[in-house]
Chains A and B, each alone.
Chain A
Amino acid sequence: MNVNPLYHHTPERLNEEKVWIQRAQKSPEHFGPLYKKYHEAIFRFVYQRMDDKETAYDVTAQIFVKAMHNIHRFEDRGVPFASWLYRIAKSEVYQCFRDRKADRYVNIETVQLVEFIDDFDHEENQNKINKVTRLIKELKEKEIQLIEMRFFEKRSFREIAEILDMTENNAKVKTFRVVEKLKKLFEQKN
């Protein structure tokens, strides 16, 4: 499993970020370093879930505006700033689907999918890919979020838990259940 470098910080980096946050809480002009640091990660999070690039850039900008409005509420209580931003991102992305009636996309790289479905069956990969791609569409939003974050965005369970506001163990259990559900569906379709 890859490690998200933006999420796993050294104590030095965390301290630096703490200072940035404190400054941003005092004045919006000081939000710049946080924007610079997280812009790409947040954009990728948004773009992962939609198809239109320009809309993704717009939503990303809106997420930062919202974060600036709410940063005074951010308290360093163990939840990293990144997770806090992702929570805003999640909410803004769904707001965008509602407002703009945009389609929710799940963007997957075949390589990731192959890893994910490796133990599904002994069927040929291309067939499995086609089947699972169809099956994913049958998952619920909450289920796809877990699969997406864990397998396509390579996030740790801890990070998933913090973004989705649940315990780490719960994130693990729920993700396992979704994988099992997909397997079951896969076998049924066979």
Chain B
Amino acid sequence: MENFKVKLDRPKISSEEIASRQNFDNVLSTFNQAKPPAYKNPWFWGSAGLATVGVTTILTLNAFTLKNETDDKKITLKTNALPEDTKCIKAPVAGEDIAFKTYEVNPLKDEKIVLESGTTIEIDKGTLQAEKPNEKVEIKVREFHDQASVFISGIPMDYQKDAFESAGMIEIKGEQDGEEVKINPEKPIDIELKTTQNPETFGFWFLNQDKKAWEEYPAETNNTAKAATPVSDKQVKQAEQKVQQAENKITAVEQQIARVETPKKEEYKIPGKNTQLFDLDFDKHDYPELSAFRNIVFEVVHPNGYDAEFAKNSKKNWSSVDLSKNQEKYTALFKNSTESYKVQVRPVVQGSDLKKAEKEFDQALASAQKTKTELENKKQELLAEKKASQQALNALIQQQIAAQDLQSRNRYNQLAEASEENYKKSSNADMAAVQDYSNSVSFQTTRWGVFNSDKPIAYPEPFKIGVALLWVGNQAAKFKQLFVFNKDKNTRFSYGEGFRNIDLLGLQKNDDLVLVGIDFEGNIGYCEIKKDDPVKSTEKITFTRKDKSTKTLDLLKSLMDGTTDTV
């Protein structure tokens, strides 16, 4: 039975040839074309995937569970559902606001809303005192985890004389037919608000819109120090670039090392050891390169250092010896009446010229060795730098993956939690992970409004002399309102109309800042101030005018970097 064909000594294929056939783009493209439906795709099972599946599972199990789940799948976002300005909350940028997401809930059932961030809102039956109890109530929610969105919403962030550093904020309303639905004082709504920071170091507040002031509000913090810090793709990309930069530097240094030439004795006209030398008269006018030397003799050039033929010929009588040069090579032609003999030679120095040449050679050699050593040391430093960058990159990626995994797992578990059946299925380890990695604030409310996990931060000292605010082009900028975003502290300081006077502007020196000004015509200007280059009194701050086609929210998010989603 012949199962196979045997082939002996087939010609080998080189690694280079195989490498030349690598085409990952093609493989990726085939992969994408052959992609299974999204629900079968492993990459679907990321944060969105798990959440959605969790939601689906819960919906399926609704009939068997006590609580009825409301989730993102059931969100009905109203068109143009931008909030209207109130006395307290006024969106600062015309035409831009943060929309509410609307969830329909049944006031006669226990409902649980799970937001994208993992924040949960539990509304028991009987909580919502709707005019029409048999009809759905719309729960409208905006959740904030970044300064850009908070700014666009117009929610004031000053507390007494300070500004808030926010860890998370939620605004919630309940309406039926456009009318606010009352909450049963005996059955408050339970909210667990996810926060970006350890809430234990933050306070909790409710915005009293009638008084236009934040009031302290009772809440319980659920945090652990083990929270996985999210890592943005931008951070990973920057770390990758660092590794690449180090690699490029190493390549450059290696090229420099290769270019360092070790001087050769021949170049300095230093004779070799035990070589064959002879004196020769030549006209220095014909060889100006040799005219600077006084003691020139000629050395026979031979790969082994000793030319036996020359030794034999040197014993003969020659009537003349002519020196010639062709392409930097010297040739001595020995002649007599019967024969001639040609040998390649090179001029070498002797006596004082030799001492001088040796000294110069030693210096050149030392210099080349020094350069080479310095470059080798530099290469070693760069290799260490590359290794450190690579380790930092790996750590960052692992952190990113861990954070994403935990986020997915958290959300899945939270969704699963509602179903007793699923809850039982959840392993203890998974549930422990939820406890371990959730930063949140739990509170109950019997009123609608804005709730905020914040920490008051003092406004910076105003500039003593003041700074000039200019547009690009040195035209004076007259701002109605000016906002200073502190990127390091996730804080906004507000100046101008409705806030403290712009003349009291001050800037924190040790943080990265983004300034946004709105002039009286509604033009928006922005600029970035780095902690390495703080603005001093008497200096000017130059604002770039925002392109009208650019959304302020997008601009701010890009300036602030690494912001989280807003509900």
Contact = CB atoms under 8 A, between A and B. Distances in A.
9 contacts: A19-B397, A22-B397, A29-B28, A31-B28, A39-B18, A47-B13, A51-B7, A106-B5, A108-B8
Given A104-B4, A106-B6, A23 B22 contact: no
B394 interface: yes
B7 A65 contact: no
A190 to B, nearest CB: 19
B456 interface: no
A138 interface: yes
A15 interface: yes
Interface string A36-73: 10011001100100010100010001101100111111
Contacts of A51: 5, 7
A27 B380 CA distance: 34
Chain A, interface size category, equals 35 or more
Given A27-B43, A44-B18, A110-B9, A69 B31 contact: yes
A57 B24 CA distance: 13
Nearest to B30: A65
A65 B8 contact: no
Contact of B5 (A26, A61, A69, A105): A105
A131 B186 CA distance: 93
Nearest to A22: B401
A61 B46 contact: no
A119 interface: no
Interface string A83-104: 0000000000000000000011
Nearest to A148: B4
A115 interface: no
B24 A35 contact: yes
A23 B397 contact: yes
Given A19-B397, A28-B31, A136 B46 contact: no
Interface in A95-148: 103-110, 113, 129, 133, 136-141, 144
Given A61-B27, A107-B7, 15 more contacts: A16-B390, A19-B398, A23-B397, A25-B42, A25-B43, A28-B28, A35-B27, A47-B13, A53-B13, A65-B27, A103-B4, A133-B6, A137-B3, A137-B6, A138-B3
Given A40-B15, A133-B6, A137-B2, A61 B30 contact: yes
A138 B23 CA distance: 38
Nearest to B233: A27
Contact of B7 (A40, A61, A105, A129): A105
A19 to B, nearest CB: 5
B429 interface: no
A136 B6 contact: yes
Given A16-B394, A22-B401, A138-B1, A108 B30 contact: no
B42 A65 contact: no
Interface string B399-414: 0010010000000000
A75 to B, nearest CB: 12
Interface string B16-27: 001101111011
B191 to A, nearest CB: 31
A78 interface: no
Contacts of A105: 4-7
A26 B43 contact: yes
Nearest to A43: B18
A11 interface: no
Nearest to B16: A40
Interface of B: 1-10, 13, 15, 18-19, 21-24, 26-28, 30-32, 34, 36, 42-43, 45-46, 390, 394, 397-398, 401, 404
A140 B3 contact: yes
Contacts of B21: 43, 57
A6 B474 CA distance: 62
Contact of B42 (A43, A72, A103): A72
A32 interface: yes
A14 to B, nearest CB: 12
Interface of A: 15-16, 19, 22-23, 25-29, 31-32, 35-36, 39-40, 43-44, 47, 51, 53, 57, 61-62, 64-65, 68-73, 103-110, 113, 129, 133, 136-141, 144
Contacts of B3: 104, 137-141, 144
Contacts of A113: 8
A28 B43 CA distance: 8
A64 B26 CA distance: 11
A31 B26 CA distance: 12
Nearest to B398: A19
A173 B467 CA distance: 85
A12 B108 CA distance: 59
Contacts of B27: 31, 35, 61, 64-65, 68
Given A35-B27, A137-B6, A73 B1 contact: no
A22 B42 CA distance: 12
A171 B241 CA distance: 45
A152 to B, nearest CB: 11
A65 B6 contact: no
Given A105-B4, A106-B6, A139-B3, A69 B36 contact: yes
Contact of B394 (A19, A27, A57, A139): A19
A108 B7 contact: yes
A22 to B, nearest CB: 5
Most buried by A among B10, B15, B390: B10
A106 B394 contact: no
B24 A40 contact: no
Contacts of A16: 390, 394
Contacts of A25: 42-43
A39 B43 contact: no
B8 A144 contact: no
A31 B30 CA distance: 13
A76 to B, nearest CB: 13
Most buried by A among B21, B26, B34: B21
B31 A68 contact: yes
A36 to B, nearest CB: 7
A108 B22 contact: no
A138 B397 CA distance: 51
B93 to A, nearest CB: 34
A39 B22 contact: yes
B24 A32 contact: yes
A7 to B, nearest CB: 17
B19 A40 contact: yes
A72 B397 CA distance: 17
Contacts of B5: 51, 103-106, 137
Nearest to B46: A26
